[in-house]
Structure 1
């Protein structure tokens, strides 16, 4: 094996979600861009904003697979 294959960065799964540092960085990036937000800073859950819906679709993400729910 070459050195690069021994130093790959993990993309960890947590149940059916991306976890670890990569998951944290993705979440922070989407929040910074305004693609996801919280109603109140103390809320546990984020929601996808109107801007986020537009941008995720541009990335080819099928948001119809996500069920709406009261947050």
Structure 2
């Protein structure tokens, strides 16, 4: 990535990535290569991974508003 972006564009990109991760976590968009017969264990791992990514991006957008109890 060689583009120079301002803070507003960076925040926009983070929000787009957060929304994408939330869709994947909810299962509305299947991960690459996962078809109708995908391994349920792998799907669960994918959901957890997307959940963590979404939580990190949420924390970047709204610092200090998330629980640290996990």
Q: Which structure has greater helix proportion?
A: 2
Using the size of structure 2 for normalisation, the TM-score is 0.29
TM-score (norm 1): 0.29
Higher relative CO (Cα under 8 Å, sequence separation at least 6) belongs to 2
Q: Which has the larger radius of gyration?
A: 1
